């Protein structure tokens, strides 16, 4: 027995598509025949019944819908299985998208040259009531922008869009981009959270040690407060890098208040985990802040290797990558420590890591006494 012969097959396909995308569509939709056939196959009593002649009937029905203009080919075409039809089609729009916005209002705002309406004119489906409300608020703001002060991104976001985090979200960023605007256009700035640091009291700062993890920061601060050295370093300032955050927050170094800089360009030593992320962070810092006197804490890493009883695998759900350019910056700086350089190379090659925490407080306190 054959199921869905001729026009019946076409009717079922149309029902499936319009059940998914609607019978009235203001924009075209992309249809994958793989998904469509899977849905159709479930309409048969069994897979064997469909396998008998279903694919051939499916091919004929799709070809007929293409000939009728219900489905239209994509620019780049790929055959579907062994059939003569394509693997993907456009399901055509069947209703004009009547804009909700007043053409006269759009022209009035465009005349001021404050906003770019090209996207919304070309995409009537984006002419929603919410977008128009936001656009009118932004337009009114821009007319008085010269008299407004700079505020944070979150403050401006709440003022204009009723949600303090909206401008930080992809939808908010896309909205500004479509209007040809930026955060600067709205006199809004993205405030990054400053880093946590400890400074030796009443001492000019000649050197800074940045450590990646909080546990090491806590132990190192304890050592420094007691007058000891951290793996041979006696920095006047200790910074908690907090992983990747330091790449964004290090720019605040120049804005720290109450710090007496003993050197115009103090030495900044970085020590992180000996893994791909740790190497990536340092390489990124080195390239992002070429004007700073950044150095890799090689003696710190040597002590990590000396104290480690073994190396560690990466967590299965935290596979890491390292920008080759960043890794090269690390290896180049480690050239004067051939054994350490070779160890770093083996870690990368074997996909292993050495966390900073091998230097716990007990270990660092013992090293401080030697």
Q: Which DSSP string corresponds to 175-218? A: HHHHTT--TGGGTEE-PPPPPEEEE-TT--BSEEEEESSHHHHH
Note whether residue 334 is domain-resident. Answer: yes
On whether both 355 and 237 belong to a single domain, the answer is yes
Using the 3D structure, point to which of 189, 214, 232 is the last residue of a domain.
189
The pLDDT confidence band at residue 1, using thresholds 50, 70 and 90, is: very low
CATH number of the domain to which 258 belongs = 3.40.1360
Note whether residue 327 is domain-resident. Answer: yes
Phi-psi domain of 162 (left: phi exceeds 0; alpha: psi -120 through 50; beta: other): left
The pLDDT confidence band at residue 339, using thresholds 50, 70 and 90, is: very high
On whether both 171 and 256 belong to a single domain, the answer is no
On whether both 231 and 334 belong to a single domain, the answer is yes
Mean pLDDT within 134-147: 94
The count of C-alpha atoms lying within 13 angstroms of the C-alpha of 293, restricted to the half-sphere facing its C-beta, is 10
User: What is the gyration radius of the CA atoms in the chain, in angstroms?
Assistant: 31
Q: What would the pLDDT profile of 46-79 be if each residue is shown by its tens digit?
A: 666 676 677 888 898 899 999 888 899 998 889 9
On whether both 324 and 239 belong to a single domain, the answer is yes
Mean pLDDT within 198-204: 90
CA angle 261, 267, 271 (to 5 degrees): 125
On whether both 203 and 184 belong to a single domain, the answer is no
Q: Can you name the residues that pair with 151 across neighbouring β-strands?
A: 188
Note whether residue 63 is domain-resident. Answer: yes
Phi-psi domain of 69 (left: phi exceeds 0; alpha: psi -120 through 50; beta: other): left
- Mean pLDDT score across all residues of the chain: 88
**Structural domain range at position 128:** 103-189
Mean pLDDT within 272-278: 94
pLDDT at 148 over 80: yes
Share of the chain above pLDDT 90, in %: 55
Helix 361-368 with 214-225: angle, nearest 10 deg: 30
Q: What is the C-alpha separation between 134 and 107, in angstroms, rounded?
A: 17
On whether both 286 and 356 belong to a single domain, the answer is yes
Note whether residue 312 is domain-resident. Answer: yes
Note whether residue 26 is domain-resident. Answer: yes
Q: What is the C-alpha separation between 156 and 129, in angstroms, rounded?
A: 21
- Phi, psi of 65, rounded to the nearest 5 degrees: -65, -30
pLDDT at 95 over 60: no
On whether both 70 and 131 belong to a single domain, the answer is no
Q: Can you name the residues that pair with 238 across neighbouring β-strands?
A: 198, 209
Quote the strand ranges of the chain, DSSP E: 29-32, 71-73, 88-91, 151-152, 188-189, 196-199, 207-211, 237-240, 267-271, 293-296, 312-313, 352-353
Using the 3D structure, point to which of 41, 65, 91 is the last residue of a domain.
91
pLDDT at 346 over 50: yes
pLDDT at 217 over 60: yes
On whether both 177 and 240 belong to a single domain, the answer is no
The pLDDT confidence band at residue 317, using thresholds 50, 70 and 90, is: low
Please, are residues 268 and 218 in contact by the beta-carbon 8 Å criterion?
no
Using the 3D structure, point to which of 91, 111, 145 is the last residue of a domain.
91
On whether both 208 and 321 belong to a single domain, the answer is yes
The pLDDT confidence band at residue 97, using thresholds 50, 70 and 90, is: very low
Tokens of 305: 């290797």
- Of the candidates 67, 125, 94, 91, the residue with the CA atom closest to the CA atom of residue 17: 91
On whether both 180 and 219 belong to a single domain, the answer is no
Please, are residues 73 and 104 in contact by the beta-carbon 8 Å criterion?
no
The domain tally of the chain equals 3
Note whether residue 97 is domain-resident. Answer: no
pLDDT at 39 over 50: yes
On whether both 351 and 333 belong to a single domain, the answer is yes
Q: What would the pLDDT profile of 151-171 be if each residue is shown by its tens digit?
A: 999 999 999 998 898 998 889
Q: What is the pTM assigned to this prediction? A: 0.56
- For residues 248-281, one letter each, b for 16 or more C-beta atoms within 10 angstroms of the residue's C-beta and e for the rest, the string is ebbeebeeeeebeeeeeebebbbbbbbbbbbbbb
Q: What would the pLDDT profile of 223-234 be if each residue is shown by its tens digit?
A: 999 999 999 999
Using DSSP, state whether 277 is helix, strand or coil: helix
Q: What is the C-alpha separation between 25 and 29, in angstroms, rounded?
A: 8
On whether both 172 and 267 belong to a single domain, the answer is no
Note whether residue 223 is domain-resident. Answer: yes
Q: What is the C-alpha separation between 247 and 203, in angstroms, rounded?
A: 26
Dihedral angle, C-alpha 325, 330, 336, 337, nearest 10 °: -130
Q: What is the C-alpha separation between 322 and 349, in angstroms, rounded?
A: 12
């Amino acid at each position: 027995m054959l199921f869905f012969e001729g026009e019946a097959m076409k009717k079922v396909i149309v029902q499936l598509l319009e059940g998914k995308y609607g019978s009235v569509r203001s924009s075209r939709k992309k249809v994958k025949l793989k998904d469509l056939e899977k849905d159709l196959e479930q309409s048969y009593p069994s897979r064997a019944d469909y396998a008998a002649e279903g694919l051939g009937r499916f091919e004929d029905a799709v070809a007929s819908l293409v000939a009728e203009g219900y489905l239209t080919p994509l620019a780049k075409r790929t055959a579907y299985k062994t059939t003569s039809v394509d693997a993907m089609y456009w399901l055509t729009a069947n209703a004009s998208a009547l804009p909700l916005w007043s053409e006269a209002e759009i022209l009035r705002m465009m005349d001021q040259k404050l906003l770019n309406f090209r996207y919304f004119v070309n995409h009537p489906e984006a002419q929603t009531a919410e977008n128009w409300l936001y656009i009118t608020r932004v337009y009114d703001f821009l007319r008085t922008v010269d008299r407004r002060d700079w505020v944070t991104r979150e403050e401006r976001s709440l003022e204009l869009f009723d949600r303090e985090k909206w401008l930080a979200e992809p939808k908010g960023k896309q909205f500004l981009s479509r209007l040809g605007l930026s955060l600067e256009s709205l006199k809004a700035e993205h405030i990054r959270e400053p880093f946590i640091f400890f400074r030796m009291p009443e001492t000019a700062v000649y050197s800074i040690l940045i450590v990646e993890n909080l546990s090491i920061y806590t132990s190192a601060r304890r050592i420094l407060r007691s007058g000891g050295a951290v793996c041979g370093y006696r920095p006047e300032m200790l910074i908690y890098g907090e992983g990747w955050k330091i790449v964004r927050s290090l720019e605040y170094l120049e804005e720290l208040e109450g710090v007496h800089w003993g050197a115009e360009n103090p030495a900044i030593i970085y020590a992180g985990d000996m893994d791909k992320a740790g190497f990536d962070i340092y390489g990124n810092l080195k390239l992002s802040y070429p004007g700073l006197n950044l150095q890799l804490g090689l003696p710190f890493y040597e002590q990590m290797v000396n104290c480690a009883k073994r190396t560690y695998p990466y967590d299965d759900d935290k596979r890491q990558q390292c920008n080759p350019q960043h890794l090269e910056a690390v290896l180049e700086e480690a050239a004067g420590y051939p054994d350490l350089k070779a160890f770093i190379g083996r870690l990368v090659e074997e996909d292993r890591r050495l966390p900073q925490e091998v230097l716990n407080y007990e270990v660092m306190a013992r090293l401080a006494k030697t």
